[in-house]
Chains A and B, each alone.
Chain A
Amino acid sequence: MAADGLSIEELKSKIGAELEPVVYEIEKGMLRRFAQAVGDPNPLWQDDEYAAKSSFGSIIAPPTFVLTLGFDRVVHQLTRIPSQTIIHATTELEHCQPVRPGDVITATTKIAGVRQREGKIGKTTFVTFDITYKNQRQEVVARCRQMAIIR
């Protein structure tokens, strides 16, 4: 499989490299689509009136929402062929402050590590990457370390 996609050497040469930042303008519709996909009816994510009276003062994104920002770009940059897939192994999410509609979030991804393990089904490549999410005020809203398996 590795011969078809990026080789372990090519991946290793990317350790420490920062992928091109991805910018997202956060809209209520994105949050609604996320909440519907999860099946999460919490009014904090969708109901202006409820959220205005909450401790947040307005609609916010669910804390896990940032997990959807930037991953497709990581896949695009780490795989070369459509049949190659990336699956998640671990996720560590640190949430610093709420994301709100109107925010402009920049997700910056850095390749933190690459290793390969020999197993029953052949070689498995693990890639660890760190994503930092900042808002338009340059405040860190969240940090995430993901370990993914490339097959």
Chain B
Amino acid sequence: MTGQLYYEGVVVGGEITTLLKQPTTRQLVMWAGASGDYNPIHYDKDFAQSRGLPGVVVHGQLASCFLGQMVTDWIGEQGRLKKLTLTYRGMNFPGETLICKGTVTKKYIEDGQRFVVCSLWTENPKREKTVTGTAVVTLPSRGS
């Protein structure tokens, strides 16, 4: 984590600090336990293959939480994540690098709060976007 991000320091078109993840099947099992999502396509290779998948797949919600982590790392402890909207488009597999990325699409002040809207996505090693979405955050002002 770096220092606190301020509204004034955010530029539309600017990038969010990229987060790289290397999910393992073990991590998927940990996520299953933490989330209660015991769909076997995430830990049972035979079952996953019986469903036509090449192997176990990363939970979409875990990928969402990776994107959430990227955002909370970026906005710092004084920032607030207000909204997160995500669509699951493709699959990530354990053993492959999962890249979390984002760019700033808009910034505005409303009711005294400083809002920043970002476009977010995860990529697989083929650079295909597997989860896409937006985040709305509020940030502190350098002046206050």
Q: Does A63 contact B (CB under 8 A)?
A: yes
Q: Is the CB of B34 within 8 A of A37?
A: yes
Shortest Cβ distance from B47 into A: residue: A83
Q: Does A116 contact B (CB under 8 A)?
A: no
Instruction: Please report the number of residue pairs spanning A and B whose Cβ atoms sit closer than 8 angstroms.
Output: 110
Residues of B1-57 at the interface with A, using a CB-CB cut-off of 8 Å, are: 1, 21, 27, 30-31, 33-41, 51
Q: Does A39 contact B (CB under 8 A)?
A: yes
Q: State the main secondary structure of chain A at its contact with B.
A: mixed
- Given A42-B1, A62-B69, A85-B39, A37–B77 Cβ distance below 8 Å? no
Q: Is the CB of B41 within 8 A of A85?
A: yes
Q: Is the CB of B35 within 8 A of A91?
A: no
Complex contacts, B35 vs chain A, CB 8 Å: 34, 37, 67-68, 71-72
- Tell me the complex Cα distance, A116–B126, Å: 31
- Tell me the complex Cα distance, A72–B83, Å: 23
Interface size class of B (residues with CB under 8 A): 35 or more
Shortest Cβ distance from A85 into B: residue: B39
Q: Is the CB of A87 within 8 A of B39?
A: yes
Complex contacts, A114 vs chain B, CB 8 Å: none
Q: Does B141 contact A (CB under 8 A)?
A: no
Q: Is the CB of A68 within 8 A of B36?
A: yes
1/0 contact string of A53-78 vs chain B (CB within 8 Å): 01110000011100110011001000
- Tell me the complex Cα distance, A123–B104, Å: 38
Residues of A71-120 at the interface with B, using a CB-CB cut-off of 8 Å, are: 71-72, 75, 85-95
- Given A37-B31, A37-B34, A85-B39, A95–B65 Cβ distance below 8 Å? no
Shortest Cβ distance from B84 into A: residue: A93
Q: List 18 A-B contacts (CB under 8 A).
A: A34-B34, A36-B30, A37-B34, A38-B62, A39-B21, A56-B77, A62-B68, A64-B84, A68-B36, A85-B41, A86-B39, A87-B60, A87-B88, A89-B87, A90-B86, A91-B84, A91-B88, A91-B133
